Amino acid sequence: MKIAVLYGGVSGERDVSLASGKGVIKALKANNHDVIAIDFNPNNLSEIIELNVDLVFIALHGKHGEDGKIQSLLEMLEIPYVGSGVLASALAMDKSKAKQIFGLNGIPIAKSHVYNLKNKSDLQITEASIKANFKVPFVIKPNSEGSTLGLTIVNDYTQIKEALITAQLSDDYAIVEQFIDGIELTVPVKGEIGQEIALPIIEIIPKNDLYDYESKYTEGGSEHIIPARISEELTKKIQNYAVTAHQSLGCKTYSRADFILTKDNIPYILEVNTLPGMTSTSLFPDAANKIGLTYEEMIEEFVNLSIN
């Protein structure tokens, strides 16, 4: 098939997207597809509007790629693409809205609240509200951002203002979330609509104190243990939560759900990634490899699921 790969983009996750895109392009070529590589920029939409391809593989991360905007454009142009649709992408990107949906579907969520940061003069009021409603430690992060960009773990109330300003650099809204201490877990999900399956759960051991941008995308920045060192009963429960999260948002083809497992064995969901990383250090390919899928076979399955 003739397949266009959109990668790069203009979000804070551009470097990761470039790496994901290169991996996808290489795999598609190995699978004998005719590939057009496009370093996407929303200021040059003519590249997309003039596309004449069978399929678009979106390897973008963050804003203008993972939030439903490019999906909307492709749908208006009637060009099929790999991954979740407009609504599911937008919902997953909006952490607050996604958490509401997860909670309604019985998935454990941490206490949180969203604050409007558009008016800088209101930061003092926001700071006072956070102090009144949250006990340290808690997390302040942009409501619509990925890869822990703009995230601060607040251990002292004096950090609130600076944390809000940091989050404000990425988004007009910040989500404040009670800090959950525990084991980092992630669960890839793939399959046809209504028949999705969860892949082996990955336990993540970051080299840094926090599973941050460096830990996620630097070679050796974290250790991936597959399958996670938890009981079979707990494994099934978390896998079911991941599939439920995928389906409740309306995701398609593939996604990856992130959890924190407390010492009391409560798995709190953090978010669902509708376009998880596809770099050499990424989690989804690791889990796929564990069930016998090579990177190239995994990419081909995504293509076939999308076409079907």
11 is catalytic: no
Distance CA(82)–CA(304), nearest Å, equals 9
Active-site choice (66, 67, 94, 258) = 258
277 is catalytic: yes
Active-site choice (9, 13, 177, 222) = 13
13 is catalytic: yes
217 is catalytic: yes
Distance CA(150)–CA(172), nearest Å, equals 12
Give Cβ neighbours of residue 93 (< 8 Å, ≥ 6 apart).
Answer: 63, 66, 67, 68, 144, 146, 274
Active-site choice (143, 273, 282, 306) = 273
- SS3 sequence, 92-154? HHCHHHHHHHHHHCCCCCCCEEEEECCCHHHHHHHHHHHHHHCCCCEEEEECCCCCCCCCEEE
Active-site choice (9, 241, 256, 282) = 256
The angle that helices 295-307 and 14-30 make with each other, rounded to 10 degrees, is 90
Active-site choice (147, 222, 248, 255) = 147
14 is catalytic: no
Active-site choice (277, 286, 295, 300) = 277
223 is catalytic: no
Region of 220 (left: φ > 0; alpha: ψ -120 to 50; beta: rest) is: left
Active-site choice (7, 81, 213, 217) = 217
271 is catalytic: yes
Distance CA(260)–CA(137), nearest Å, equals 15
Active-site choice (271, 289, 296, 301) = 271
162 is catalytic: no
Positions marked active-site: 13, 147, 217, 256, 258, 271, 273, 277
